[in-house]
């Protein structure tokens, strides 16, 4: 059994500066949206401001988990700390659900006791500025998340974009209240915001659960890995027990390599090196483990499953 893979924590720049960017954006939008709510007394804008508090809590948690996930492997965590990213994503999803409940309670109270809005033009202008900040931050985080395969930044970017669309909905709702004088529109928009937030929170939590349960890499990636392995079969090499999983920004790939038994250990090793390098071209952030076996030995076929089959006759 041999392993290969780069140390993500030491060979790539830290992502923590992007967590600080998210924290700064959250603080700025909390201040701006808080002012917008204070000026207008709109429960829709209040819901928008509350979600920014969730953004801040999530960004702080992301910074902590990002620091932890970048720690190198140790005697108690031989596979590194990459799964810490999923705790951040799950925590942010939980906070989103809490915010949705708070928004729903405020909206129902306002629906039962309508109240006229104030200073709408200024309040909406301030909210628009906050939304622009969130949009710009989300674009940066999303771009980096795709390049660096960061679950934390991906979750944060999705949440911020949800916040942007939430703000757009709130702004339109408040504008309609001014145009129609239908005060019930304001809390109704807030309830729609809460429903949208619940959906976002649910997706983040299920994504985190999937990562913690060692879900396989995306089907298109596994298909590409299979294609790489197939390209080596004309050399008399066969494969089985290909397994993949994602742990934060690190991917793990294991495969059993079956070679002719007459080959020397050195020859089998050299081919494993070539195979691992080719697999890493498909998964650049991957840690590849190969297990060398003789293709003619029937025992080699007993370990295709996760648990090795018991030898026949015992």
Is 311 within the bounds of a domain? no
Report the pLDDT value the prediction gives residue 309, as an integer from 0 to 100. 61
Do residues 288 and 175 both lie within one domain?
Answer: no
* Cβ-Cβ contacts under 8 Å for 297 (sequence gap 6 or more): 261
Is the same domain home to 195 and 262?
no
Residue 8 — very low, low, confident or very high, per pLDDT cuts 50/70/90? very low
Domain count, the chain: 2
Find how far residue 61's CA is from the centre of its chain.
14
Domain hosting residue 294, numbered range = 219-303
CATH number (domain holding residue 274): 3.30.70.1350
- Using only C-alpha atoms, the chain has a radius of gyration, in whole angstroms, of 26
Q: Which CATH number characterizes residue 75's domain?
A: 1.20.1510.10
Q: Residues 198, 242: one domain?
A: no
Q: What percentage of residues in the chain have a pLDDT greater than 70?
A: 80
pLDDT in tens, 98-150: 777 777 777 787 778 776 666 667 777 877 888 899 899 989 988 888 787 67
Q: Which tokens go with 215?
A: 């879900």
> Does 136 share its domain with 200?
yes
- Residue 245, sorted as left (phi over 0), alpha (psi -120 to 50) or beta, turns out to be beta
Q: Are 23 and 101 in contact (CB under 8 A)?
A: no
* Rounded Cα distance, 144 and 122, in Å: 34
What would the pLDDT profile of 29-87 be if each residue is shown by its tens digit?
888 888 887 887 777 677 667 767 777 877 887 788 777 777 777 777 766 666 676 77
Which residue(s) pair with 244 in the sheet? 253
- Give the per-residue pLDDT at 312: 55
pLDDT in tens, 150-192: 767 877 787 788 778 777 777 777 777 778 778 777 778 778 8
State pLDDT tens for residues 249-281: 678 899 999 999 999 999 999 999 999 999 999
Convert the pLDDT of each residue in 38-49 to its tens digit.
887 777 677 667
- Specify whether 14 is located in the same domain as 138: yes
Of 212, 244, 259, which one is at a domain's C-terminal end? 212
Residue 90: which pLDDT band, with cuts at 50, 70 and 90? confident
Report the alpha-carbon distance of residue 189 to residue 124 in Å, rounded: 15
Let me know if residue 199 belongs to a domain.
yes
Give domain status of residue 310, yes or no: no
């Amino acid at each position: 059994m041999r392993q290969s893979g780069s140390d993500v924590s030491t060979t790539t720049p830290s992502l923590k500066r992007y967590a600080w960017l998210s924290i700064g954006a959250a603080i700025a939008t909390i201040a701006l949206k808080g002012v917008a709510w204070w000026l207008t007394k709109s429960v829709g804008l209040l819901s928008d401001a509350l979600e920014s508090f969730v953004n801040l809590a999530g960004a702080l948690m992301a910074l902590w988990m990002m620091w932890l996930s970048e720690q190198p492997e140790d005697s108690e965590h031989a596979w590194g700390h990459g799964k810490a990213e999923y705790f951040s994503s799950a925590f942010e999803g939980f906070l989103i659900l809490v915010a949705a409940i708070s928004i729903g309670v405020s909206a129902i109270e306002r629906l039962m006791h309508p109240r006229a809005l104030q200073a709408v033009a200024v309040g909406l202008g301030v909210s628009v500025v906050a939304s622009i900040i969130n949009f710009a931050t989300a674009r940066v985080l999303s771009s980096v998340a795709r390049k660096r395969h960061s679950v934390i930044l991906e979750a944060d970017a999705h949440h911020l974009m949800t916040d942007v669309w939430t703000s757009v909905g709130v702004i339109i709702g408040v504008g309609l209240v001014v145009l129609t004088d239908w005060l019930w529109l304001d809390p109704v928009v807030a309830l729609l915001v809460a429903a949208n937030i619940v959906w976002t929170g649910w997706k983040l939590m299920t994504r985190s659960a999937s990562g913690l349960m060692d879900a396989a890499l995306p089907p298109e990636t596994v298909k590409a890995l299979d294609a790489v392995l197939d390209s080596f079969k004309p050399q008399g090499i066969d494969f089985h027990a290909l397994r993949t999983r994602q742990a934060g920004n690190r991917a793990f790939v294991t495969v059993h390599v079956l070679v002719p038994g007459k080959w020397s250990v050195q020859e089998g090793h050299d081919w494993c090196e070539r195979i691992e390098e080719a697999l890493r071209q498909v998964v650049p952030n991957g840690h590849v483990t190969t297990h060398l076996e003789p293709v003619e030995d029937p025992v080699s076929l007993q370990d295709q499953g996760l648990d090795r089959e018991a030898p026949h006759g015992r």
